[in-house]
Structure 1
């Protein structure tokens, strides 16, 4: 979808300190062989800071940088992968309450690790649907450091998770970057691989059953065969929607300056994502992401913030955001940098 007249006016992140992966190995939390193989050097750890509080922090930074009044806000969308707080409680309204007293709609989006980039499509469509609407706030946050979960052993490939929050303001007011296009799709037939043999009812969280993705994958045809099937199907569709997003942005793949993507410690994993699109890994963020871990919904926006803040992209440069979540949900967005904002080095 082309997104005429939609800009990024603000962007913000909350990124906790990184814990060295070697320390996790020494504590017995991270398998030494996995550390050697997967290439992660650390993970961002938020301690006992709740995910919604991190989202508030990121959103405040986004509004501060935007210089745009909160009164412009017409929509809030919040994304996360893990539980945000008490069951039956709406984290999105907690975030909104700490930012404004305006009675704008706030929605929670669950698209696994595609939640935040996937929200670009929803928010842009919402703004374009009415001339009276001006701005949408997107937030994403996760703290995976719960007592019954080991961030160093997610159970499937690329499995070290970090904590973070990030935020973007999409607006019809001119901003430091322009959103040129967004695309989204689903490989719904892959949901059974992520479900495994677990019963749908009662939900595992309600009976204290721990999430074990490796066990679920193994319940089908074995972990390696199942992962290969998911990667193949996901890769085909991801390549298609990435090229579609570039075509709708009226640019060629050669005009993509940088790419933000799911963080990984392995160059080979990143090549699987980028090679079919025709983009080399040097345009990605391999080294930046290695000490942070996979930040669930936040990798792409944290990466974009890093590129702009450090001056690695500037006016006229194009950034491709590629996201996938749970093997099932995929989104891409193309952003063009309009000018270097005051907060960038």
Structure 2
């Protein structure tokens, strides 16, 4: 989908302190062989800070950087991969309450780890549908440090999981970057592998069952075979969507300066994503992401904010955003930087 006159007016992030992966090994939290093989250096760990509060912090930064007033907002969408608070509670409206007193719609989206980027497409559609609408806020946040989840043994995507929040302000009136095109697709048949042999009722969260993706994937016909099939199927669609989105933006791979992607500690994993698109790992954020862990819905916006803030992209540069989640959902977008914003700086705690 082409997105004419949809701008990125502001970006915001919240990153907690880093927990060294070597310390996690010493404490028995992280397998030593996995540490040596998968390349993660550390993970962002938020302690007991609630995910919605992290989202509020990121949203306030994005709004401040956008130059827009909270009353300008016409929509809020919040994306997450993990529970946000009390069961049955509306975390998205908690976030909205702390940002604006306008009675605008606020939705929560669950598309696993592609939820925030997928929400950008929904927000762009919402703004384009009615000429009087001018701005939307999209947030994402997760704190995975719960008793039923071991961030050092995620089980899939070579995974160590970090905590973070991020936010994007989309505007029809201007911004430092343009959203040129965005597309989303699904490999719905893969849901079976992620469900495994677990019953649909009662939901695992309500009976205290811990999350074990390795067990679920193995139940679908052998762990290695199942993972290989998921990777193959997801990779085919991800490449198709990325190339289609580039074409809609009137670009090809040679026009892309950098890529904001799911974080990983392994160059080989990043090559699986980028090689079929005609892109190189050095265009990505391998080293930066390996110090944070996989930040669920937040990798791409944390990465984009880092590229802009540190001056690694500037006016005229194009950034391809690639997001996939839960084996089943994929969104790709192309952003063109129009001007370096005044909040951009030349250095960062994580350069």
TM tier, smaller: over 0.9
CA distance in 2, matches of 1:138, 1:152: 28
SS of 1:86's equivalent in the other structure is coil
Residue of structure 2 in register with 1:246 after alignment: 246
How far off its partner does 1:150 sit? 1.1
- Verify the 8 A CA contact 2:148 2:208 in the aligned structure 1: no
- Verify the 8 A CA contact 2:79 2:139 in the aligned structure 1: yes
Question: 1:187-228, CA deviations, whole angstroms, 9 ceiling, x for partnerless residues?
Answer: 000000000010011111111111110000111211100000
- Verify the 8 A CA contact 2:148 2:209 in the aligned structure 1: no
CA distance in 1, matches of 2:343, 2:296: 25
SS of 2:52's equivalent in the other structure is helix
Residue of structure 1 in register with 2:304 after alignment: 304
How far off its partner does 1:61 sit? 0.2
CA distance in 1, matches of 2:128, 2:14: 29
How far off its partner does 1:265 sit? 0.2
CA distance in 2, matches of 1:297, 1:20: 22
Residue of structure 2 in register with 1:133 after alignment: 133
CA distance in 2, matches of 1:99, 1:40: 35
How far off its partner does 1:156 sit? 1.8
Question: 1:221-264, CA deviations, whole angstroms, 9 ceiling, x for partnerless residues?
Answer: 11100000000000000000000010001111100000000000
> Equivalent residues in 2 for 1:59-208 (5 A)?
59-208=59-208
Residue of structure 1 in register with 2:348 after alignment: none
- Number of equivalences: 345
CA distance in 1, matches of 2:149, 2:64: 35
SS of 1:3's equivalent in the other structure is coil
CA RMSD between the two structures: 0.5
Residue of structure 2 in register with 1:3 after alignment: 3
CA distance in 1, matches of 2:45, 2:121: 29
Residue of structure 1 in register with 2:267 after alignment: 267
Residue of structure 2 in register with 1:41 after alignment: 41
Residue of structure 2 in register with 1:256 after alignment: 256
How far off its partner does 1:147 sit? 2.1
How far off its partner does 1:148 sit? 2.6
How far off its partner does 1:144 sit? 0.3
Q: TM-score, normalised by structure 2?
A: 0.98
